[in-house]
A = this chain, B = another copy of it.
């Protein structure tokens, strides 16, 4: 018998029929003797409907009141799921964030969880009851309703699993796990049986949007065993999804690379002929950050003749604004020679904890790309990741050849 926290997202509970499906799935786990805490999101579309209604009344809704309103989305789902379980003869009880209680700070619309009172949940579990908790929400010290921000239901589930010391936290979604790369780009992409938190973080932040990054960080920090599963698989045909663990897999030959991630939503900017002196990076990026533009990769090479070139990437939607800031505020101020930019680029990354102990991954990656005539524009590396920026038109080709070169299309030995 295990204590399992399950989380079902908006699509999984998107209709009365889907909610009854989820209830049947929960019943099967329950009948195996497990204790279950189930976290749910609002039915798909409901949060957007509520926000639209708020904006009809107030163009810029007060954050406290927006949270009061938006939190009703999950409150409806918990009640519906509890009803559906009771109809199947399973004892079930719903809890809002405030009822649990999930204590957060008072940062309305993007609150952080401070603590979870597991007292009531424990006594329900001992009473053989399935506990249904509204994701995405909590209360602050004063009893005000707060929400955790978009995707916060994953975080609610992981936080509950940590507080309850659950054996596993299962995130049900519309895909059946984490893949070596996007199957729409590489049909040979394989589902991974397991992946480390660090790898998952790199994969997620690079565009594999299976899990909210914040929940993965949280799970890593509190050593919660996290599993990604599909809620759309038929009874009897369920797979075991992908397990995200703290430990590297030492029971088998460690693959060098776990996956190829990519992001086509990037643009690159370069400040040419920058005086090579201390403080120049902050003079360039200060105005960008003040304009609330997130910067991704940052590259500065060694200079010569007293000047250097400084490059960075931003979200493609911010490209025009960033370019304008560099031209108008940065270039005259620091005396740079010219500003260049390109919004037809993409980023391709090889991710894997195995590269720590395997030298030569970078050179293999560069060679494979060179053999296809793909020019590398920027390079950035971390402990477990190598990212390159290439022309957008090479994205599919680059991902495909790297996926094959690192043997990801073959099952591990």
Identify the A interface with B (CB < 8 A).
Answer: 16, 19-20, 50, 53-54, 56-59, 61-62, 64-66, 68-69, 71-72, 75-76, 78-80, 82-84, 86-87, 93-94, 96, 98-99, 143-145
Contacts and interface: CB of A to CB of B under 8 A. Distances in A.
A16 B56 contact: yes
21 contacts: A16-B56, A16-B57, A19-B57, A53-B76, A53-B80, A57-B83, A58-B80, A58-B87, A62-B82, A62-B83, A65-B78, A65-B80, A65-B83, A66-B83, A68-B75, A68-B78, A69-B80, A72-B72, A96-B145, A99-B143, A99-B145
B69 A76 contact: yes
A62 B75 contact: no
A95 to B, nearest CB: 9
Contacts of A58: 80, 83-84, 86-87
A234 B128 CA distance: 57
Nearest to A72: B72
Nearest to A77: B69
Contacts of A87: 58-59
Contact of A69 (B69, B79, B84, B145): B79
B75 A57 contact: no
A61 to B, nearest CB: 5
Contact of A84 (B57, B68, B143): B57
Contact of A68 (B54, B61, B79, B144): B79
A99 B71 CA distance: 14
Contacts of A80: 53-54, 57-58, 65, 69
Contacts of A145: 96, 99
Contact of A79 (B54, B93, B99, B143): B54
A86 B57 CA distance: 11
Nearest to A134: B68
A94 B75 contact: no
Contact of A65 (B62, B69, B71, B79): B79
Given A56-B16, A57-B84, A99-B143, A94 B79 contact: no
A65 B62 CA distance: 29
Contacts of A65: 78-80, 82-83, 86, 94
A97 to B, nearest CB: 12
Contacts of A96: 68, 145
Contacts of A98: 98
Contacts of A83: 54, 57-58, 61-62, 65-66
A409 to B, nearest CB: 43
Most chain B CB atoms below 10 A, which of A69, A78, A96: A69
Contacts of A20: 57
A75 B79 contact: no
A23 to B, nearest CB: 9
A93 to B, nearest CB: 8
A379 to B, nearest CB: 49
A328 to B, nearest CB: 35
A86 B62 contact: yes
B61 A69 contact: no
A101 to B, nearest CB: 9
A72 B145 CA distance: 13
A65 B83 CA distance: 7
A94 B68 contact: yes
Given A72-B72, A143-B99, A79 B56 contact: no
A341 B344 CA distance: 85
Contacts of A84: 57-58
A50 B77 CA distance: 11
A72 B50 CA distance: 12
